[in-house]
Structure 1
Amino acid sequence: MTERPYTDVAVIMRCEHIDNRWQPWRWSLAEVVINEPAFGTEPRQIIQDEREQRWLFPGFRAELYRDDAEGYHLNLTSPAPCWFVLWRRDEDPGTGEIPLARPVAVSLSYHDAGRWLDAQETVEQVPAAPEVVETLRAFVAEHYQPEPKRRKRPDSFRTLQDRFGNPASVSTEKQRGGGGSGGGNAGGGSHD
């Protein structure tokens, strides 16, 4: 079995103080960096002052999957290729401390980000470093196969449907009579 290409990364989350009595602190994704052994394995605070905190979350692996090459291609063809990070807040500890925002998953795929958003998760993005973009570009060049464009059938070959999506038909025969007796024309004469 061939090992998938991957990049080990760490996520830095930022918590900034905002002047709002209902929500005095706001979490956001600060950056995704290449993981270093010196980072260790446990989350740790790296900055704290009266306006902000920054936390480092090491130990994430972003693997590249051949069957998701289209998701990487979509990322590469966007104006700014980026990392997507799914994160969740801890439950409120109730001790006056700020609940931590913890990254859960990191990806370079638009498809992953779309699935996470569809599941109503919190997903943010930050630009990917040039060396990460180049690695991704090489992977996509090797594995991405665009879907062949299908020829569009002329509208004249499409089946007719009514406004409810049921099959419909068109008749060139003239509708005759109404009433119920004899099926003739109300005027008494024939128009044949």
Structure 2
Amino acid sequence: MQERPNIHVAVVMRRVALDNRWQPFRWELADVVPHDDGFGREPRILFDDGREQRWLHPGFTVELFRDDAEGYYLNGTTDTPGWFVMWRMEDAPSVAAEPIAKPEVVTLSYHDAGRWLDAQEAVEQVPAPPHVVEWMMTFARDHYVPEPRKRKRPESFRRLEDRFGNPATVSSGKKYGE
């Protein structure tokens, strides 16, 4: 079986301090970078100045699937094509004393991101580099087949209905009883 086109990436999440007594900080997606074997396998902190932390989460594989070519095409034809990262808060006692934002999946598909958002997941986007966008669009052009448009009937051929959906008639003759 032929292997799917894929690339290996790492995700950088950012923890930003807020001046808010109800929420002392927030997590956000900072970047998606090419994976390097030197990153290891476990999340680790890259930067901490007391107001901001940056965490590296290595080891993600982004695969392109033929049946999702439309999702790649939609992403590639926007003003800012990008990576979509679905993440969740998770306890990681081996690396941090408090819960951290842990990326679960990285994709280039608009459809995947839409499904995750519909499921109330945390999904964020960052711009993808031009070489990744070109790789994705080459795949999309090779595999995406737009559905043929259905012919729309002219309005003059539509059935007349009243406001309740019942068939209605129009007559140009005299009214009853005249």
TM score, norm. by length of structure 2: 0.89
8 Å CA contact 2:32, 2:126 repeated in 1: yes
RMSD: 2.1
**d(CA) in 2 for partners of 1:160 and 1:38?**
69
Shift of 1:91: 5.7
Structure 2 counterpart of 1:35: 35
**d(CA) in 2 for partners of 1:169 and 1:154?**
18
Shift of 1:64: 0.6
Structure 2 counterpart of 1:9: 9
8 Å CA contact 2:91, 2:98 repeated in 1: no
**d(CA) in 2 for partners of 1:103 and 1:134?**
24
- Measured against aligned partners, the alpha-carbon deviations of 1:19-39 in whole angstroms (never above 9, x if no partner) come to 111111110000011111111
- Measured against aligned partners, the alpha-carbon deviations of 1:118-159 in whole angstroms (never above 9, x if no partner) come to 111111000111221111111012111122233221012222
Structure 2 counterpart of 1:62: 62
Structure 1 counterpart of 2:115: 115
Percent identity over paired residues? 58
Count of equivalent residues: 175
Structure 1 counterpart of 2:45: 45
* CA spacing shift, 1:92–1:65, aligned 2, 3 Å: closer
2:79 aligned counterpart, secondary structure: coil
Structure 2 spans left out of the alignment, 5+ residues? none
1:9 aligned counterpart, secondary structure: strand
* CA spacing shift, 1:90–1:158, aligned 2, 3 Å: same
Q: Residues 107-146 of structure 1 correspond to what in structure 2 (within 5 A)?
A: 107-146=107-146
1:161 and 2:155 matched: no
* CA spacing shift, 1:92–1:43, aligned 2, 3 Å: closer
**d(CA) in 2 for partners of 1:149 and 1:64?**
26
**d(CA) in 2 for partners of 1:152 and 1:50?**
60
**d(CA) in 2 for partners of 1:77 and 1:26?**
31
8 Å CA contact 1:15, 1:27 repeated in 2: yes
* CA spacing shift, 1:138–1:92, aligned 2, 3 Å: closer
**d(CA) in 2 for partners of 1:107 and 1:124?**
11
8 Å CA contact 1:9, 1:61 repeated in 2: yes
